[in-house]
Amino acid sequence: MRNPLAPIRSAVQLMQLTNDPEANKAATGIVERQVDQMVRLVDDLLDVSRISRGKIELRKQRIDLASIVKQAGGHTSIGHEHGA
């Protein structure tokens, strides 16, 4: 959990030291990405906690991996078309 904190701290320090709008915009992007990563880490930890306490039941089932990959590829190309 400490891993995303270092870039956040550095980005905040950069924003405090400069009045350059482009540098601040870049630093804001870093903070946003790292916060998103921290949210995913916390969500994963909460899921592990729920699983270990028996609050979530995992079910094994067969999936069509090719379909999932194809669907994910479609989302990627849509994002690319919209500049994401």
Report the alpha-carbon distance of residue 39 to residue 12 in Å, rounded: 18
Asked whether residue 32 carries a pLDDT value surpassing 90, the answer given is yes
Asked whether residue 49 carries a pLDDT value surpassing 80, the answer given is yes
Residue-level pLDDT at 56: 80
Residue-level pLDDT at 72: 84
Domain CATH number, residue 65: 1.10.287
**What is the Rg, in whole angstroms, of the alpha carbon atoms belonging to the chain?**
19
Q: Which domain holds residue 34?
A: 5-81
- The pTM assigned to this predicted structure is 0.58
Q: How many domains does the chain have?
A: 1
Number of Cβ within 10 Å of residue 54's Cβ equals 7
Given phi > 0 = left and psi -120 to 50 = alpha, else beta, which region is 83?
left
